[in-house]
Amino acid sequence: MSSNYCFDKTFTKVNFSVENLVFNEFEQCIFSKCELNNVDLSDIKFINCSFIDCNLSNVKLINTSLQEVEFERCKMIGFNMDEINQFGLKVSFTECNLNESSFYESPLKNTKFYKCLLENVDFSIANLSYSSFYDCNLNHAIFSGTDLCYSDLKSAYNFDIDPTKNKLKHAKFSKENIIGLTYSFGIKVE
């Protein structure tokens, strides 16, 4: 076993902006109330890990592996998954602030977003099929070439999704938020 491997450890209130991450692989670890703002997480592997009440804004994620990783009540502004390691990618987000983030071309099939702020997020060309957006604010989020088939957006709000530029087969919307599919056509619903 590599000395750069960390298993089943809890990190609480660690400021990784000051302290270096000494491991390059974490499995079944919990990060609670940790500061990771602007930290370079490139080439690090996280397997079955949880981040709770952490600040992960503007982290660098080049070739970072996130396999079965949960984020809960985290500040993640500018979370950019464009260059992440896509092998085994599986994440979920609960009550996170993901404003100004990018999921461009990300394979996020079956991803759960629960009560998240997703303003100005780029979901272009992402696979979000079978995903759920429960009570999420999608104000100014970009959907272009996005696969939302079978996704649940019934309680999402402030979205503007052009049905002619995205895959929406069997996606679920509510009567209250269906207006988010009409903005691009200049249709006013009263």
Closest by alpha carbon to 129, among 115, 143, 119? 143
Where exactly are the structural domains of the chain?
A: 1-76, 98-190
DSSP string for residues in 124-155: TT-B-TT-EEET-B-TT-B-SS-B-TT-B-TT
Copy the structure tokens of residue 104.
Answer: 């461009």
What pLDDT was estimated at residue 177?
Answer: 82
Name the band, by pLDDT with cuts 50, 70 and 90, for residue 1: very low
Copy the structure tokens of residue 10.
Answer: 């809890």
The pTM score is 0.93
Euclidean distance between CA atoms 137 and 156, whole angstroms:
6
Instruction: Indicate the class that CATH gives domain 98-190.
Output: mainly beta
What pLDDT was estimated at residue 187?
Answer: 63
What pLDDT was estimated at residue 179?
Answer: 75
What pLDDT was estimated at residue 146?
Answer: 98
pLDDT tens per residue, range 69-128: 999 999 999 999 999 999 999 999 999 999 999 999 999 999 999 999 999 999 999 999
Name the band, by pLDDT with cuts 50, 70 and 90, for residue 188: low
Closest by alpha carbon to 52, among 12, 89, 21? 12
What pLDDT was estimated at residue 3?
Answer: 63
Note whether 1-76 and 98-190 share their fold: yes
Average pLDDT, integer, range 49-58: 98
Euclidean distance between CA atoms 35 and 57, whole angstroms:
9
Q: Cα(first)–Cα(last) distance of the chain, in Å?
A: 63
In CATH terms, the fold of domain 1-76 is: Pectate Lyase C-like (2.160.20)
What pLDDT was estimated at residue 39?
Answer: 96
